[in-house]
Amino acid sequence: MSAHDTRRARGAEITSLLGEPGLLPFLPLLYVAWADGDLEPDELRLIGSKVDAAEGLTPSVRAALGRWLDPEAPPSAQSIQDLLAAIRRGAEGFTASQKLNLTDLGMELVRSTGHPVEPVVQDALRALEAALGVAGEEATRRILIGERPAPPAAERRPAFDAEAMSRLLDGEHRALRNEIRSLLSQPAFRPEPGLGREAYRVKVLSWCRELASRGYGASPENLGGESDDGRYLATFETLAFGDLSLLVKFGAQFGLFAGSIQQLGTRKHHERYLRQVRTLELLGCFAMTETSHGSNVHDIETLANYDCQRQEFVLHTPHDRARKDYIGNAALHARIATVFAQLQVGGESHGVHAFLVPIRDDDGRPVPGVRIEDCGEKMGLNGVDNGRLWFDGVRIPRESLLDRFGQVSPDGVYTSPIPSPSKRFFTMLGTLVGGRVGVGLAALSASKLALTIAVRYASRRRQFGPEGAPEVPILDYLSHQRRLMPRLASTYALDFALKHLVRRYLESRAEDRRELESIVAGLKAVSTWHAIDTIQTCREACGGQGYLAVNRLAALKADTDVFTTFEGDNTVLLQLLGKSLVTGHKRQFGEMSLGGLVRHLAAQAGTAISELNPVVTRITDEAHLRDRSFLLGALRWRAQHLVGSVARRLKHRIDSGADSFLAVNECQDHLIETARAYVESLVAEQFAEGIDACSDAELRRVLAPLFQLYSLWRLESDRGWFLEHGYFEGGKAKAIRKLVNKLCGEVRSQAVPLVDAFGVPDGCLPPIAA
Ligand SMILES: Cc1cc2nc3c(=O)[nH]c(=O)nc-3n(C[C@H](O)[C@H](O)[C@H](O)COP(=O)(O)OP(=O)(O)OC[C@H]3O[C@@H](n4cnc5c(N)ncnc54)[C@H](O)[C@@H]3O)c2cc1C
């Protein structure tokens, strides 16, 4: 007998099995098991083993099921069609609007024959449906009415008002954001790929001057005093749609440099400097990092010795690798620097403090004792002049110490409102957290720009298609949706989370930012990593066009790359958050006494995690998987579980005599995962709260699937962990994967208006997205 004849015989045999009455309730399940063709032999065996374990099935039903589920002998396409026809015959009269899962449908088939439904069979069906891991209601719908046809073009028209969504995202500073948008749309502000480095730097400086002259460095009424951080952050976020060298130079001057004077200085500094800094009469830089010490600011080595006789500080670079490095604005334009150095008074060290140090004279030449070098060509951001600084006995007056948190009297007595050196250090750094918030927001805008380009392009670009029919827009391909839609949903999620963070930041007092600081650290890391992943994905999604400089993605990729490093290296920042989570946000690890640390760890390690409900781990129906309490619950559970487990591991090590540094090092991966899980849970929560707070029902309806897609994508991405910890069974993980596919299709239908709502100004969009 030929292989063909064997298959035919097998098909006839299997078709004849449809006559087995006991098999009737299982038909929908058997159909779904084979219809998609995506079950692995192991999965079929797993379902087969559930059949074996099921109680109350007759031997003939058991045998029939065994044959249907035999991975070695799959049914023919004809048998599967026969199966579907048999189900549809039995289900005549049911409608797709009846919400039935596969178990329900099977039982209805039995009832339709007038036979009673046996509870044991129902139980067996439920177990098999869970093991199959399909979104039951959706599968039933497909059995009853077939695949949903692609929505006609008319259905893809915006189902919501993108302008209203844009207003929601822009929030309070919409008018200011629109001003920046129209400025960036002017031909003079267009990014110019291929401009040489020197010309690029000149151009970026002239753009900065233009922005300063229009008052964007500060609102006019507070040029010399209180800053308006809300306006500044909205300006910074919107500027990130344009040239990113401009953004970073603007940030170095108005964020880092002005911010250091504002936050670390006192009235005399504000009055003397802020007006000139915010109008750009005085260009400055923020010199914290040294070649030897970047992430570890505590141990920088530049010295500032107080000379009591002359009432001056003497700045000194003790060795070559203690030079200041990568400093934005330093190579060419800055006249003055905020220099972070170890303060020494009368031979006693008081830790890191900030000093205002002139570095160039009026003619732009380095002042005596200061050496300056250009960092040269970089991977991106070449319109910014990053440089290195050395100090050789540079003298500055006593008043140049930014003395909000530590003062030196003329006769050399050091005082501080914060007696603990380490608390003082963290408080000083904590006041600078606004820069980190800004980078998180700028990364968000960069993601929005990349997605706007890629989504618009994909909605028009056509490749391949059904035989004899027009080619299909690439955005209609599932794989393209899979690449872009979860990232679109995440960008919306991060928007809500970052805006919430900004509100908290603006409401907080500088001295009271410990918890906020660690959350800022986590969100900055997640937002910047999201940006570089999204930009790379969008670049590939635009094919060859994405590679052309004129289409902006190349520069966007190069310029945002360093967002993961400056304003705090992401890996270091996630550790900061991880440590802060296990110490209950109270203190940093190194600061606590060992006893205090162990008490905190014990409390966290003992935190009760809600019990896993064995039914919930298996539920796969769509309503459950879309349900907010399931989604938030799963993300919270993971974060909570990780905090508890890393605390137990740390405590175990410290109890066994390891010092805290070693203990942390051995649990570093765990701490980082804890922090990431916490941020993801926080983002979902803020997104959900933001949706609730939105008064426009239409927008809430559009945002709901974005929330579901964001949350399910996070669960899907970490399904290994959830499976490892028994939070899902395999069937549930598969059902999530299928629902993510479905949600990608749903979001795709609104993708163009969803990116339009980001409000990227037309002048910032390249030809492929115009
Ligand atoms: C373009 C650009 C502009 C900049 N502008 C300024 C500026 O204007 N002013 C300023 O002061 N600085 C500036 N910087 C410096 C920037 O802030 C630092 O580069 C950053 O803080 C990281 O320090 P680092 O480069 O020394 O890296 P390192 O701290 O040496 O880190 C190197 C690697 O080691 C890892 N690592 C470090 N510590 C740990 C740890 N404990 N556990 C595990 N892994 C660890 C990090 O994750 C990273 O991958 C700029 C940098 C660049 C590139």
User: In this structure, are residues 533 and 539 in contact, taking their beta carbons and an 8 Å threshold?
Assistant: no
Q: How far is CA 142 from CA 37, 43, 314, in A?
A: 15, 22, 78
Spatial neighbors of 48 by CB under 8 A, at least 6 apart, are 65, 66, 69, 70
Any atom of ligand 1 within 6 Å of the Cβ of 572: yes
Q: Which of 326, 355, 377, 559 to mutate to test the pocket of ligand 1 (most atoms within 8 A of CB)?
A: 326
Helices 668-693, 514-541: axis angle to 10 degrees equals 90
**Which atom of ligand 1 has the smallest separation from the CA of 256?**
8
d(CA 682, CA 524) in angstroms, rounded, equals 13
Helix (H) or strand (E) holding 340: strand 336-345
d(CA 12, CA 23) in angstroms, rounded, equals 16
Please tell me the predicted confidence (pLDDT) of residue 259. 94
Spatial neighbors of 497 by CB under 8 A, at least 6 apart, are 523, 682, 683, 686, 687
Any atom of ligand 1 within 6 Å of the Cβ of 94: no
Minimum CA distance residue for ligand 1 atom 12: 289
Please report the beta strands in 18-83, taking only residues with DSSP state E, as ranges in sequence order.
Answer: none
Minimum CA distance residue for ligand 1 atom 2: 326
Please tell me the predicted confidence (pLDDT) of residue 154. 41
Please tell me the predicted confidence (pLDDT) of residue 608. 67
Q: How far is CA 435 from CA 320, 367, 506, in A?
A: 28, 28, 13
- Give distance in angstroms: CA of 346 to centre of ligand 1: 32
**Which atom of ligand 1 has the smallest separation from the CA of 571?**
47
SS3 304: strand
- Give distance in angstroms: CA of 71 to centre of ligand 1: 54
**Which atom of ligand 1 has the smallest separation from the CA of 562?**
53
Q: Which of 565, 573, 577, 669 to mutate to test the pocket of ligand 1 (most atoms within 8 A of CB)?
A: 565
- Give distance in angstroms: CA of 570 to centre of ligand 1: 9
Half-sphere exposure of residue 541: CA atoms within 13 angstroms, side-chain side: 34
Structure tokens at 729: 């069974």
Give pLDDT < 50 ranges for the chain: 7, 10-11, 148-149, 151-155, 219-225
- Give distance in angstroms: CA of 334 to centre of ligand 1: 21
Q: Across the strands, what pairs with 324?
A: 290, 389
DSSP state of 762: G
- Give distance in angstroms: CA of 287 to centre of ligand 1: 13
**Strands 324-328 vs 336-345: parallel, antiparallel or unpaired:** unpaired
Please tell me the predicted confidence (pLDDT) of residue 639. 96
Any atom of ligand 1 within 6 Å of the Cβ of 128: no
Any atom of ligand 1 within 6 Å of the Cβ of 123: no
CA nearest 568: which of 443, 384, 423, 673?
A: 443
Minimum CA distance residue for ligand 1 atom 26: 294
- Give distance in angstroms: CA of 297 to centre of ligand 1: 10
Any atom of ligand 1 within 6 Å of the Cβ of 291: no
d(CA 235, CA 442) in angstroms, rounded, equals 10
Q: Which of 256, 288, 295, 325 to mutate to test the pocket of ligand 1 (most atoms within 8 A of CB)?
A: 295
- Give distance in angstroms: CA of 648 to centre of ligand 1: 30
CA nearest 87: which of 23, 143, 15, 22?
A: 143
Minimum CA distance residue for ligand 1 atom 43: 572
Compute how many other C-beta atoms are within 10 angstroms of the C-beta atom of residue 627.
14
d(CA 490, CA 495) in angstroms, rounded, equals 8
- Give distance in angstroms: CA of 294 to centre of ligand 1: 4
Q: Which of 197, 264, 428, 566 to mutate to test the pocket of ligand 1 (most atoms within 8 A of CB)?
A: 566
Q: Which of 290, 332, 378, 569 to mutate to test the pocket of ligand 1 (most atoms within 8 A of CB)?
A: 569
d(CA 436, CA 171) in angstroms, rounded, equals 20
For 364-419, the DSSP string reads SPBPTTEEEEE----SS-TTS-EEEEEEEEEEEEGGGB--SS-EE-TTS-EE-S--
CA nearest 400: which of 331, 323, 311?
A: 311
The dihedral of CA 88, 90, 95, 100: what is its sign? negative
Chain-centroid distance, C-alpha 389: 35
- Give distance in angstroms: CA of 564 to centre of ligand 1: 9
Please tell me the predicted confidence (pLDDT) of residue 140. 77
Please tell me the predicted confidence (pLDDT) of residue 23. 81
Any atom of ligand 1 within 6 Å of the Cβ of 447: no
What region, left, alpha or beta, does residue 146 occupy, with left being phi > 0 and alpha being psi -120 to 50 degrees?
left
**Which atom of ligand 1 has the smallest separation from the CA of 324?**
11
Any atom of ligand 1 within 6 Å of the Cβ of 255: no
**Which atom of ligand 1 has the smallest separation from the CA of 296?**
29
Buried b (16+ CB within 10 A) or exposed e, 137-169: bbbbbbbbeeeeeeeeeeebebebebeebbebb
Q: How far is CA 536 from CA 87, 237, 558, in A?
A: 46, 20, 10
d(CA 682, CA 526) in angstroms, rounded, equals 11
Block residue for tokens 């249907």: 68
- Give distance in angstroms: CA of 336 to centre of ligand 1: 22
- Give distance in angstroms: CA of 168 to centre of ligand 1: 35
Any atom of ligand 1 within 6 Å of the Cβ of 286: yes
Any atom of ligand 1 within 6 Å of the Cβ of 569: yes
SS3 192: coil
Q: Which of 286, 336, 572 to mutate to test the pocket of ligand 1 (most atoms within 8 A of CB)?
A: 572
**Which atom of ligand 1 has the smallest separation from the CA of 291?**
26
**Which atom of ligand 1 has the smallest separation from the CA of 386?**
3
- Give distance in angstroms: CA of 325 to centre of ligand 1: 10
Please tell me the predicted confidence (pLDDT) of residue 270. 95
- Give distance in angstroms: CA of 140 to centre of ligand 1: 54
Any atom of ligand 1 within 6 Å of the Cβ of 289: yes
User: In this structure, are residues 470 and 481 in contact, taking their beta carbons and an 8 Å threshold?
Assistant: no
Please tell me the predicted confidence (pLDDT) of residue 73. 80
Which tens digits make up the pLDDT trace of 176-231? Answer: 999 999 999 999 999 988 899 999 999 999 999 999 999 998 644 444 445 589 99
SS3 753: helix
Please tell me the predicted confidence (pLDDT) of residue 375. 98
- Give distance in angstroms: CA of 584 to centre of ligand 1: 26
Q: Report how far apart the first and last C-alpha atoms of the chain are (Å, whole number).
A: 63
pTM of the model: 0.86
Compute how many other C-beta atoms are within 10 angstroms of the C-beta atom of residue 443.
29
d(CA 588, CA 423) in angstroms, rounded, equals 9
Spatial neighbors of 38 by CB under 8 A, at least 6 apart, are none
Please tell me the predicted confidence (pLDDT) of residue 224. 46
- Give distance in angstroms: CA of 64 to centre of ligand 1: 64
- Give distance in angstroms: CA of 571 to centre of ligand 1: 10
How long a stretch of residues is the chain? 770
d(CA 686, CA 165) in angstroms, rounded, equals 17
Any atom of ligand 1 within 6 Å of the Cβ of 571: yes
d(CA 121, CA 118) in angstroms, rounded, equals 5
**Which atom of ligand 1 has the smallest separation from the CA of 384?**
1
Spatial neighbors of 451 by CB under 8 A, at least 6 apart, are 484, 487, 488, 491, 534, 538, 755, 758
